């Protein structure tokens, strides 16, 4: 699978480690930085990975920072990105199967390296179910995104 990966300084070491593991398993990895351990800003890498997915250069993304929180918040600002912080194996595959999660977020300061590698592989092996109820819920998320884009923040008044 084509996978875009990115991290700030807080996730830099795991980003390189996971990229090597995925490449070894035959995945095509697009490394979008950071390319060094110097302090950097996680929204920049969230934007790069989100753009790669939305432009069709990658099918999925993996983002890392210290906790995994900041980069997940930033990634979810992009309509069409469904990013989740998953530090357990159930969420890493169920998030794809039920919710079509397309970006996995991880925190290098929170979990160990072997778990991080396993979660990345589990995420990439999972496939969306296509079940009617899951498609329906995703369509409701798309409707929210479209309403915000076209009607602005006030669209939910009167809900
Ligand atoms: C960087 O120190 C740290 O704040 C960042 O990597 C991340 O944990 C934010 O959520």
Per-residue pLDDT at 156 exceeds 90 = no
For atom 9 of ligand 1, which residue has the closest CA?
A: 70
pLDDT tens-place string over residues 128-149 = 999 999 999 999 999 999 999 9
Give the bridge partners for 106, in sequence order. Answer: 64
Q: Residue 98 catalytic? A: yes
pLDDT for res 155: 85
Per-residue pLDDT at 18 exceeds 80 = yes
Of the residues 27, 65, 72, 93, which is catalytic? 65
* φ/ψ of residue 27, rounded to 5: -80, 155
Q: How far apart are CA 145 and CA 22, in angstroms?
A: 31
Q: How far apart are CA 108 and CA 113, in angstroms?
A: 8
Per-residue pLDDT at 157 exceeds 80 = no
pLDDT for res 101: 99
Q: Which of 6, 7, 9, 10 to mutate to test the pocket of ligand 1 (most atoms within 8 A of CB)?
A: 10
Per-domain residue ranges of the chain: 2-128, 130-159
What tokens were used for 47? 């934007």
pLDDT tens-place string over residues 42-98 = 999 999 999 999 999 999 999 999 999 999 999 999 999 999 999 999 999 999 999
pLDDT for res 154: 84
At the top level of CATH, the class of 2-128 is alpha beta
Atom number, ligand 1, closest to the C-alpha of residue 109: 8
């Amino acid at each position: 699978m084509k996978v875009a990966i990115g991290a700030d300084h807080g996730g830099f070491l795991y980003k390189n480690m996971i990229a090597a593991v995925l490449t070894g398993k035959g995945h095509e990895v697009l490394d979008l930085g950071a390319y060094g351990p110097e302090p950097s800003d996680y929204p920049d890498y969230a934007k790069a990975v989100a753009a790669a997915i939305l432009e069709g250069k990658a099918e999925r993304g993996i983002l890392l920072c210290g906790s995994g929180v900041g980069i997940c918040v930033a990634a979810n600002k992009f309509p069409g990105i469904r990013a989740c912080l998953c530090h357990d194996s159930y969420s890493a595959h169920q998030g794809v199967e039920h919710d079509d999660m397309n970006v996995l977020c991880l925190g290098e300061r929170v979990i160990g390296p072997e778990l991080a590698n396993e979660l990345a592989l589990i995420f990439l092996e999972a496939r969306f179910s296509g079940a009617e109820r899951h498609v329906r819920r995703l369509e409701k998320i798309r409707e929210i995104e479209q309403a915000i884009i076209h009607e602005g923040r006030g669209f939910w008044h009167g809900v």
